[in-house]
């Protein structure tokens, strides 16, 4: 008698010896067809494995549709890679080697560092190991033995991990494949032959246990698929993605420039990029008006006192540009031989004043709020500004438009009563939804950032934090979309709802954000007079639907692959003359279209039409209007769509109407 226990807890019994495949068949023909391997008591087995008779065994049938199948295979491939590395290099220490989106990695420490030149040798070793076809055997050992095993293997990271990370576990599992033994939870594939195709990708630094204060290891990135075809498709997809990179397109299309002499992370918006940014600001402004916001302007600097009150200085000093010192005081201090360190201390202690390049707009907006006496009848007050801020991001973090040192937030601060909070939060979320919908960006995730109970970086009393965190949860729930809750992701003054998207390389970026703040108003002593004729402290909402113009446009360039919709495109159409003979007609069409409010350029060079079309396509111009003798005669233009190709000849008026409609509909 053979009996198996399935993951749902049900028991199946057979009066003869059966294989894993037989069990799958007995459950359903579909399952039997999709099954790739089985797992008995966490040990991977092939489909033709005969299940031992007697006591019931825990059986899990893995199907090719199961996302964990690929994950399991990749993790097994990580073992094979680590084994190969240990054959190529001496005294290698292993850390962690998990599967990740798109592949897997293994963190290792080698006295003789690995370089990409070692890849061919490692890949060759991996092929040999796969060819040997040794199974991954699960071995379970009691805690004390496990530590000794790792010590005997000279695997210090594994010893440390058992002693500090796996303190609860009484027994620990290892997987052995030939001479290679690795502490590992599993599961694994039944045979290394299941690794269809793999490729080492890159090598990078990574801190042990993700801790900056700990040792830095080498992280070996690789990927694996069940078939060579899937791997090739994946690699090709990566290549294609690189062409969408906003840094590549930004250069090719002339959208922005970053100049070494200006400074890292400081964006120069060239005319075409500036135009897009301007259009987006107009788009937001329109919605600000509809939602009852007032726009303000505030300066780029403010006194240190402002940021001492807000709490930004000196606690966030490391992520700010150094403060500017009052010039009279500076020369006096210089005469006295004051050192930089002393200067910094004097600013911290308030002995001397200075100015800070603003790292945020909120303190300025708070001062706009408090510039007048406020009544509950005035609330909510919604102050908006495209406010430019400067932050001293670490040099290694800066890149393109997505992580910069100077950026403009489509910022606003709402001052509300407790009763208004929920509705206003929902209004803010609504605006973020409008923005994403208008751009056709449906692929975003929502994250509610909460405080981390272990950290001391937060200001304000816990009761208010609880109120604010609940308000965020409830507002996020109105999205009708799943959201995650992330402790430690809150701002120092309050929790937040973030909207996160992926870039072309799969990296995550926070764009829109809505934050609840019970703290800053109190720090600044803000108040309004309530219906009870008594002063009350307002609650603040910080929000930015784009996040920052820079990051948003960076992501937007990749989202559209440079093919901006007509309403957003700096160049909506280009007139292409078939030959010099049509220039005069071309100019008249150009003028007519310009007069209709369209952004038109023209190519009157004496090149062949094919060459002009090629240039237009490479510039991703939405519409090309080809004009030749035939068109001049009929008063038409031959319209070419950058995506659909030749649309045929149409009267100039018709083309204008078509474009205007498209602009109107923002498609």
Partner RNA sequence: GCCGGCGUAGCUCAGUUGGCAGAGCAGCUGUUUUGUAAACAGCAGGUCGUGGGUUCAAGUCCCUCCGCCGGCUCCA
Q: Is the peptide bond before 314 cis (omega within 30 degrees of 0)?
A: yes
Name the one range near RNA by CB under 7 A: 57-65, 460-468, 475-483, 575-583. 575-583
Judged by CB under 7 A, the number of residues near RNA is 72
Beta strands in 227-292 (DSSP E): 256-258, 267-269
| 112, 236, 286, 646: which one binds RNA (CB under 7 A) | 646
The residues in 337-366 that bind RNA, with binding defined as CB under 7 A, are 359-360
The residues in 259-288 that bind RNA, with binding defined as CB under 7 A, are 260, 264-265
Task: Look at residues 98, 87, 96 and name the one whose alpha carbon lies nearest to residue 179.
Answer: 87
- Cα 347 from Cα 356, distance rounded (Å): 11
Closest CB to RNA among residues 111, 210: 210
Q: Find the shortest distance in angstroms from Cβ 380 to RNA.
A: 21
- Cα 185 from Cα 208, distance rounded (Å): 19
The residues in 535-554 that bind RNA, with binding defined as CB under 7 A, are none
101 carries an active-site annotation:
no
Which is the catalytic residue, given 87, 194, 413, 642?
413
| 628, 650, 652, 659: which one binds RNA (CB under 7 A) | 628
**Residues belonging to the chain:** 667
3-state helix, strand, coil in the chain (%, to 5): 40, 25, 35
> In this structure, how many other beta carbons lie within 10 angstroms of the beta carbon of residue 361?
26
CB 361 within 8 A of CB 387: yes
Q: Find the shortest distance in angstroms from Cβ 307 to RNA.
A: 8
- Cα 188 from Cα 175, distance rounded (Å): 8
Is residue 251 part of the contact set for RNA (CB under 7 A)?
yes
CB 622 within 8 A of CB 572: yes
411 carries an active-site annotation:
yes
The residues in 385-404 that bind RNA, with binding defined as CB under 7 A, are 391-400, 403
Which is the catalytic residue, given 411, 498, 517, 603?
411
- Cα 637 from Cα 576, distance rounded (Å): 10
Is residue 493 part of the contact set for RNA (CB under 7 A)?
yes
Closest CB to RNA among residues 189, 360: 360
| 68, 227, 278, 319: which one binds RNA (CB under 7 A) | 319
536 carries an active-site annotation:
no
CB 412 within 8 A of CB 288: yes
Q: Find the shortest distance in angstroms from Cβ 208 to RNA.
A: 9
| 432, 472, 566, 626: which one binds RNA (CB under 7 A) | 626
- Fill in the DSSP letter of residue 323: P
Is residue 257 part of the contact set for RNA (CB under 7 A)?
no
| 178, 629, 635, 651: which one binds RNA (CB under 7 A) | 629
> Sign (positive/negative) of CA torsion 439, 442, 448, 449?
negative
| 17, 243, 290, 581: which one binds RNA (CB under 7 A) | 581
The DSSP secondary structure of 41-62, one letter per residue, reads TTEEE-TTPBPPSSS-EEEEEE
413 carries an active-site annotation:
yes
**Greatest C-alpha distance within the chain:** 98
Which is the catalytic residue, given 188, 272, 542, 574?
542
Is residue 487 part of the contact set for RNA (CB under 7 A)?
no
Is residue 113 part of the contact set for RNA (CB under 7 A)?
yes
Q: Find the shortest distance in angstroms from Cβ 510 to RNA.
A: 7
Closest CB to RNA among residues 332, 630: 630
Is residue 609 part of the contact set for RNA (CB under 7 A)?
yes
What is the enclosing helix (H) or strand (E) of 427?
A: helix 418-438
Exposure string of 310-327, with b = 16+ CB inside 10 Å and e = fewer, is bbbbbebbeebeebebee
Is residue 295 part of the contact set for RNA (CB under 7 A)?
no
Q: Find the shortest distance in angstroms from Cβ 234 to RNA.
A: 15
Closest CB to RNA among residues 266, 434: 266
- Cα 162 from Cα 16, distance rounded (Å): 42
| 320, 361, 408, 548: which one binds RNA (CB under 7 A) | 320
257 carries an active-site annotation:
no
Task: Look at residues 123, 162, 167 and name the one whose alpha carbon lies nearest to residue 145.
Answer: 162
Is residue 584 part of the contact set for RNA (CB under 7 A)?
no
The residues in 175-234 that bind RNA, with binding defined as CB under 7 A, are 202-207, 210-212, 216, 218-219
Phi, psi of 335 (to 5 degrees): -60, -35
- Residues taking part in catalysis: 362, 391, 409, 411, 413, 496, 542
């Amino acid at each position: 008698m053979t009996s198996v226990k399935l993951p749902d807890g049900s028991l199946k019994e057979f009066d003869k010896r059966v294989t894993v495949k037989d069990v799958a068949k007995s459950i359903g023909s579909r399952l039997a067809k999709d099954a790739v391997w089985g797992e008995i008591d966490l040990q991977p087995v092939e489909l033709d494995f005969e299940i031992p008779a007697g006591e019931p065994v825990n059986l899990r049938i893995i199907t090719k549709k199961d996302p964990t199948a690929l994950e399991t295979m990749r993790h097994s491939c990580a073992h094979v890679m680590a084994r190969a590395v240990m054959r190529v290099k001496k005294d290698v220490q292993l850390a962690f080697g998990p599967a990740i989106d798109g592949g897997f990695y293994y963190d290792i420490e080698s006295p003789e560092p690995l370089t990409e030149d070692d890849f061919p040798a490692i890949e060759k070793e991996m092929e040999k190991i796969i060819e040997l076809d040794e199974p991954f055997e699960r071995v379970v050992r009691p805690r004390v033995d496990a530590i000794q095993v790792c010590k005997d293997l000279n695997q210090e990271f594994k010893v440390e991990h058992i002693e500090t990370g796996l303190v609860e576990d009484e027994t620990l599992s290892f997987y052995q494949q030939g001479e290679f033994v690795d502490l590992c939870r599993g599961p694994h594939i039944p045979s290394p032959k299941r690794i269809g195709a793999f490729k080492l990708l890159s090598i990078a630094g990574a801190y042990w246990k993700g801790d900056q204060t700990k040792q830095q290891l080498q992280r070996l990135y690789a990927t694996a698929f069940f078939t060579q075809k899937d791997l090739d498709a994946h690699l090709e997809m990566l290549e294609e993605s690189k062409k969408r990179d906003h840094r590549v397109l930004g250069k090719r299309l002339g959208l922005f420039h970053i100049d070494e002499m200006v400074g890292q992370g400081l964006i120069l918006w060239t005319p075409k990029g500036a135009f897009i940014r301007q259009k987006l600001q107009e788009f937001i402004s329109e919605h600000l008006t509809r939602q009852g916001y007032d726009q303000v302007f505030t300066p780029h600097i403010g006194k240190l006192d402002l940021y001492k009150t807000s709490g930004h200085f000196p606690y966030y000093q490391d992520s700010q540009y150094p403060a500017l010192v009052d010039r009279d005081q500076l020369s006096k201090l210089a005469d006295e031989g004051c050192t930089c360190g002393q200067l910094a201390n004097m600013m911290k202690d308030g002995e001397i004043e200075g100015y800070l390049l603003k790292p945020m707009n909120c303190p300025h907006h708070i001062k706009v709020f408090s510039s007048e006496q406020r009544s509950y009848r005035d609330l909510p007050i919604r102050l908006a500004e495209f406010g430019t801020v400067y932050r001293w991001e670490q040099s290694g973090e800066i890149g393109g438009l997505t992580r910069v040192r100077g950026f403009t937030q489509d910022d606003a601060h709402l001052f509300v009563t407790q009763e208004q909070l929920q509705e206003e939060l929902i209004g803010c979320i609504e605006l973020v939804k409008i923005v994403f919908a208008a751009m056709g960006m449906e692929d975003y995730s929502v994250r509610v950032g909460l405080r981390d109970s272990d950290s001391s970086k937060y200001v304000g009393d816990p009761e208010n934090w609880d109120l604010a965190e609940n308000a965020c949860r409830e507002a996020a729930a109105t999205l009708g979309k799943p959201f995650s809750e992330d402790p430690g992701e809150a701002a120092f003054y309050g929790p937040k709802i973030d909207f996160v998207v992926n870039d072309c390389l799969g990296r995550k970026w926070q764009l829109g954000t809505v934050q609840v703040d019970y703290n800053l108003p109190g720090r600044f002593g803000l108040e309004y007079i309530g219906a009870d004729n008594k002063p009350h402290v307002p609650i603040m909402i910080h929000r930015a639907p784009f996040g920052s113009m820079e990051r948003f446009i960076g992501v937007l360039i990749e989202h559209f692959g440079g093919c901006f919709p007509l309403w957003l495109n700096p160049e909506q159409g280009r007139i292409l003359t078939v030959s010099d003979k049509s220039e005069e007609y071309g100019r008249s069409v150009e003028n007519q279209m310009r007069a209709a409010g369209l952004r038109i350029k023209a190519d009157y060079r004496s090149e062949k039409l094919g060459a002009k079309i090629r240039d237009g396509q490479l510039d991703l111009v939405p519409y090309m209007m080809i004009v030749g003798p035939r068109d001049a005669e009929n008063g038409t233009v031959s319209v070419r769509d950058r995506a659909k190709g030749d649309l045929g000849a149409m009267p100039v008026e018709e083309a204008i109407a078509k474009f205007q409609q498209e602009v109107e509909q923002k498609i």
